[in-house]
Amino acid sequence: MGWWLAFSGFGVLAAGAEGNARQLFARGVLAECRGDEAGAAGAFEEALKLDPLALALVRRVVAVRLEEGNRAGAVRLMRELAEARTGELAVQLEYCDFLEDVGRGDALAVRQAIAVLEAALEKHPGHPRVIERLFAQLRADGKAEAALELLERLDEADGESAMIYGSLAASGLESDDEEGMGRIGKRYEAAFGVEPGNARLARAASEFLRKKGREEEAISILERHVEVAPWSLELRTRLGILYLSAKREEEGRKALEDVLKISPRRILAHQSLAKLHRMRGRAVEARHHAGELLKIRGGSEEEYLKLADEYLAAGEVREARILLEKAAFEHGDSPAVLMKLAVATRRDPETRAVAGRRFREAGVVISGDAKPDAAFLLESAEVMLEEGQSKAAEERLRAAIRSYPPEAKVETAAALRRLARLWEEEDRNAEAARALRQRADALDPEN
């Protein structure tokens, strides 16, 4: 396909001449691929002699001229091409872009571009791309008023023209210019009435209205759009978000949930619903959408760990484990993530049998300031007991007890009772076990 697009830029010649030009062009491209820049330049130069109006060849030779520092030669080639193909808008626009790139604000280049664009506009009245470029050149030439007047020549019923009008006109107006902003709004409304299914136009019009504080009108635009284009999922998502912003929560919730039924990986939909449910105290729903969001786009260690703690606190150990498996894939060198994954793996009945491996993997990366937390120490002690490592388990339980802060009385009491039970089960340290239980009862008398 790339070769065909390149060849399609050749002019119309006698069969033999065109064939030779194409062969030379192909040799030039092959030389480029081989790193032979001199050979490529020579082949393109020879091909251009045979077909001087071929856009693909002119581009290549112009690039060679500029590389050689021959700016005048490059400009001459592009000018001759534009003068020979005046009826082709694409060529005229490319010539103007070339003048802008090469001129870089040079007054002569700007005036040349203006002349070319004005001639093109006579042949293509109201063409949005011509007007867009001419607007920029007039502004660069210090003719701001003429640039704004030019915009009035854009077609009011055309969606692309309305978007260009809205973007360019706003750049020349003060934010408190109600009359000017009103004209922009009318342009959007007129074009949208003709093209309600145009997603880019609907978004631009809605966003313009939203920024002007006309939220209900912005919503109305999107409602009309999704009615005729229900497949426009990005704007259905946007509509749901605007509903929520306008305090129309049930409509917003339904709109976003409907989008997710069709496309479950919509980040903005999950993000908005997670925020809504948290605000309303619906923790289960909030966790679900927050979890889906992390599964789709990933996140930081802190995001994963915070949500995993919520799952574990709620007893949703399977959800915590699955989330932390993804976290470990993204943050495989994080001791905190691997420790939490080991804990969740043991607490989940589906994976308890392989928990020992998870604890060993976490142990490998724990070093320096990364100290095991109490939950990790307690769960790893249980794994060691299951593997028959009673003494090592006892040391983990002692470390867990020491790691709790003074205010964690209930948790400390539970760890004390677990160590006492270990000694009782092994029929040793009876006095010490009773002392541990007394201490635990003092900390947590209700259990």
Decide if 382 is inside a domain. yes
CB atoms within 10 A of CB 250: 9
Averaged pLDDT of the chain: 89
What sign has the CA pseudo-torsion 260, 262, 263, 268?
negative
Determine, yes or no, domain membership for 335.
Answer: no
- Per-residue pLDDT of 199-209, as tens digits, reads 999 999 999 99
Give 76's contacts (C-beta < 8 A, 6+ positions apart).
Answer: none
Q: Is residue 367 part of a domain?
A: no
Tokens of 286: 């909030």
Q: Apex CA 112: angle with CA 109 and CA 114, to 5°?
A: 110
Q: How far apart are CA 301 and CA 299, in angstroms?
A: 7
* pLDDT of residue 321 exceeding 90: yes
Task: Tell me the pLDDT tens digit for each residue of 95-127.
Answer: 888 888 887 767 888 888 888 899 999 999 999
**pLDDT for residue 7 is more than 80:** no
User: In terms of residue numbers, what domain contains 420?
Assistant: 372-447
- Of 65, 84, 103, the last residue of a domain is 84
pLDDT of residue 248: 96
Residue 93 lies in a domain: no
pLDDT of 105: 67
Closest CA to 382 of 289, 374, 122, 226: 374
Which whole number is the average pLDDT over 325-347?
94
The alpha-helical segments, DSSP class H, found in 34-103 are 37-50, 55-68, 71-84, 89-103
Boundary (domain end) residue, out of 55, 84, 113: 84
| 407 in any annotated domain | yes
CA-nearest of 181, 111, 130, 173 to 148 is 173
Residue 161 domain-assigned (yes or no)? no
For 369-416, what is each residue's pLDDT tens digit? Answer: 668 888 999 999 999 998 889 999 899 999 899 988 989 899 999 989
pLDDT, one tens digit per residue, over 257-295 is: 999 999 999 999 999 999 999 999 999 999 999 999 999
**Rounded (10°) CA dihedral 321, 326, 329, 333:** -60
CA triplet 303, 306, 311: central angle to 5 degrees?
Answer: 120
The domain that holds 76 is classified in CATH as: 1.25.40
| Closest listed residue to residue 154, CA positions, set 167, 171, 143, 145 | 167
Residue 141 has pLDDT above 80, yes or no: yes
Tokens of residue 329, six digits: 């894939």
Nearest to 129 by CA among 83, 187, 89: 89
Tell me if 234 is assigned to some domain: no
Burial class (CB in 10 A: 0-12, 13-18, 19+), 137: buried
Q: Please say which residue of 84, 109, 126 terminates a domain.
A: 84
Q: Is residue 130 part of a domain?
A: no
Quote the number of domains for the chain.
Answer: 2
